[in-house]
Structure 1
């Protein structure tokens, strides 16, 4: 009987060490770590070179209708990306996360395409690597700020 209680005490100690200070069963937000909807009203079209740099860009123009993008990334890394209600689903290994312009971005790479979405919604970049085109989308007119900064 003494051995049973010793084993029980050992298992409880291991359980406490495994749980740490977090006794919660799971996240209280349904598991979502990122869930945002962005509206893009402006576009700039560019050529895209082999070094990943845009060139020969158009002037900024207003899009009508606007483009709506929904991005949801769960705590376990699964992502849902919807562009104008056309949705794609990604495993955690199917996209990259990085930082640029002082904010986080999500980089979804497909066959001859890439879509980079900034977490603050400031910019979306769609790159067609086969054609060598890049399309930059903004919720606010970037030319307005270029005049003042």
Structure 2
């Protein structure tokens, strides 16, 4: 009987043995819903010339997961992006802690408390701000 148990574990055919505790360790894992959107121009001095705030219905859903190895998965309303360590940063400013993602001509700032997410289009100079509340 011990041979069968060892063979079964070796082939992983005895059912689900669970996730690898190291690989499944999430440093940060949250889902946010945003109900408001605003577009602004930006430059080195900050944002200006903002458009009217629009209500989003249904809500814009964002899921973020940062694992213990420093890799992140970001799902923006059904579109998934994977960032390896070094393709994003973690920081803090006067509004709180955030993650900042880099990709080609755009960047994304996501506050850890879910209050705001900002998508920066570096080529056009526009930023789209998603907010939980007005």
TM-score (norm 2): 0.79
Q: Distance in 2 between matches of 1:106 and 1:100?
A: 11
Give the SS at the match of 1:92.
coil
Give 2:35's match in structure 1, choosing from 34, 38, 41. 41
Q: Deviations over 1:53-108 (max 9, x none)?
A: 11101232211221100000011111000001110111111111100234210100
Q: Distance in 1 between matches of 2:40 and 2:47?
A: 6
Q: CA RMSD, aligned part only?
A: 1.9
Give the SS at the match of 1:93.
coil
Give 2:67's match in structure 1, choosing from 74, 82, 99. 74
Structure with greater helix percent: 1
Q: Distance in 1 between matches of 2:45 and 2:102?
A: 14
Instruction: Answer whether contact 2:74 2:82 (CA < 8 A) is retained.
Output: yes
What is the Cα deviation at residue 113 of structure 1? 0.3
Q: Distance in 1 between matches of 2:26 and 2:49?
A: 39
List runs of 5+ in structure 1 lacking aligned partners: 1-25, 142-149
Match of 2:121 in 1: 128
Matches within 5 A, 1:16-95: 30-49=24-43, 51=44, 53-95=46-88
TM-score (norm 1): 0.71
Structure with greater strand percent: 2
Distance change (3 Å), C-alpha of 1:69 and 1:93 = same
Q: Does 1:117 align with 2:110?
A: yes
